[in-house]
Homo-oligomer: A and B are copies of this chain.
Amino acid sequence: MRQFSVELDELHEKVLQMGGYVESAIHRSVRALVDREPELARQVMRDEARINQMEIEVDNLTTRMFALRQPMAKDLRFLTAAMKINTDLERMGDLAVNIAQRAISLVNQPQVKPLIDIPRMAQLVESMLLRCLDAFVKGDADEATSVLTADDEVDSLRDSVYQELVAYMQSEPTTVPAAIDLMFVARNLERIADHATNIAEDVVFLVKGVDVRHHAIEVRDA
């Protein structure tokens, strides 16, 4: 039987690899939108299968490790965190596909407005994802905590995107379908940020044994 630490390394690596795929899906979906490049969007849709496959592999590996080892304390928290992070990453991949679909829909419509806030949201969200994965690898609770505050910035950008789009729709009804697509893109980016926040919370729990979800304070065995 291989050493548990070897399996842990493999799990780390798989989660990071999946995170890389997801990050590139987010990046490409927003590029497809901004540059009006449907081929990039279609690539995101094709690459989803790879993310889904990784989700199943990570689940299988984690489940096997739960079953064959008797992980305790921190190892147990690590496996639980990996399982949750896996689910969040897969959902982020789905959301990137949603953005890609909106990008394709938007290519066939006149441009509502130059896109400024949406690319800024995307940049923030990608940096949140990279940081929470980095925090996961390094076991760095401070870096994970920094992701939680970035989420507020994403929410406020989304608010300004909404207000602006409502004004466009009201003054020029022909922009309604395209503005709705953009509104859902902003919403999807906000939700990707929420998943990054979930991951960051899981990392804090993993490192400190403190559950920061829903502001619950509960100290576990270290």
Distance between Cα atoms of A211 and B59 in the complex (Å) = 11
How far is it, in angstroms, between the C-alpha of A173 and the C-alpha of B218 when the chains are bound?
Answer: 50
| Interface 1/0 per residue, A161-192 and B, CB below 8 Å | 01000100111011011001001100100000
**Contact partner of A56 among B63, B80, B174, B214, CB < 8 A?**
B214
Q: Is A70 part of the binding interface, using a Cβ–Cβ cutoff of 8 Å?
A: yes
| Min CB gap A142→B, angstroms | 23
**Contact, CB under 8 Å: B170 / A166:** no
Residues of B within 8 A of A211 (CB): 56
In contact, B169 and A52 (Cβ under 8 angstroms): no
Q: How many copies does the complex hold?
A: 2
Q: Is the interface of A mostly helix, strand, loop or mixed?
A: helix
In the assembled complex, the Cα of A66 lies from the Cα of B72 at a distance in Å of 9
Q: Using a CB–CB distance below 8 Å, which chain A residues touch chain B?
A: 49, 52-53, 55-56, 59, 63, 66-67, 70-72, 76-77, 79-80, 83-84, 87, 162, 166, 169-171, 173-174, 176-177, 180, 183-184, 187, 211, 213-214, 216, 218
13 contacts between A and B (CB under 8 A): A52-B216, A56-B216, A63-B77, A66-B76, A67-B70, A70-B70, A83-B83, A166-B176, A169-B169, A170-B174, A173-B173, A180-B180, A184-B187
Known: A56-B214, A169-B173, A170-B173. 15 other contacts (CB 8 A): A49-B214, A52-B213, A55-B213, A56-B216, A56-B218, A59-B80, A63-B80, A67-B70, A70-B70, A162-B180, A166-B180, A169-B176, A180-B183, A184-B187, A187-B187
